[in-house]
Copies of this chain bind each other. A is one copy, B any other.
Amino acid sequence: MVTPMKSRGEQPQRSRRVPHARTPGQRAGLTREEVLSSARTIAEQHGLEQLSMRRVAASLGVAPNALYTYFADKTALLDALFDAILGEVELPGPGAEPWQDGLAELMRASRRLVLKHPHLTTLFLTRPGGRNAMRLGEAALRLLADGGIRGPEAVTVLRALLTYTLGFAAMEVPRQAEPGRTVRTQGAGSLIESLDPESFRATREHARELASHPGDDDFETGLRWLIRGIRAESIVGEEDEP
């Protein structure tokens, strides 16, 4: 499904040649939300590396430096963009399901979100969390508390789960979504063939699997392993293991 864009007064993409039709004194009637939304459209359609202050400004029909009224610099815009997207994660309701299932579902939702924004992957891993990241963390911590995991250990668990989830998404995305990478990516398979058969014996034996894209199954399996390991060590007195 396509992300529902708030349709404001903008005419679709005719940023070609409408240079700011204003004299120094006049206002364009910009808002912070409009700038953010425009940045988002560009990032989603053309990739993060195409997202520039000048391009955002052009798509809004203003001069480049007009944006600095709303964002101190480009990283401020990036941080806001990141947090806005994070706000769309569908939190699993406080259902009666077992806490570990709820956690798994939360991680799946996070991964789906990242995959829906392939160009922003690195942002998710490197930018410190804003308000919406906290909202995600809160949901996870509550689920953990349901499972009897609190305190420092809960934070460690949360970090491990998020690391795995976001890291997995970060690894699987660029290989398939980068701009002019088609040639280089397919080269991975043929690179294996060129390796010395002796010193790369195991690699060659697994050539087929290594060439395949990581996907849902790999993610689910690893997530299950991690949760299982957490339970085995953290929940001492649990007996109702299925």
Contacts and interface: CB of A to CB of B under 8 A. Distances in A.
Interface string A190-216: 011001000111110110011010100
A127 B187 CA distance: 13
A238 to B, nearest CB: 14
B134 A200 contact: yes
A155 interface: yes
Interface string A127-163: 1111100110110011001000011101110011011
Interface stretch (A5-13, A23-31, A34-42, A224-232): A224-232
Contact of A233 (B19, B170, B225): B225
- Residue with the highest number of chain B CB atoms closer than 10 Å, among A129, A175, A202, A209: A202
A185 interface: yes
A209 B144 CA distance: 15
Given A125-B122, A167-B170, A145 B202 contact: yes
A2 interface: yes
B138 A199 contact: yes
A135 to B, nearest CB: 8
A16 interface: no
A229 B225 contact: yes
Interface of A: 2, 19, 79, 121-122, 125-131, 134-135, 137-138, 141-142, 145, 150-152, 154-156, 159-160, 162-164, 166-168, 170-171, 174-175, 184-185, 188, 191-192, 195, 199-203, 205-206, 209-210, 212, 214, 217-218, 221-222, 224-230, 232-233
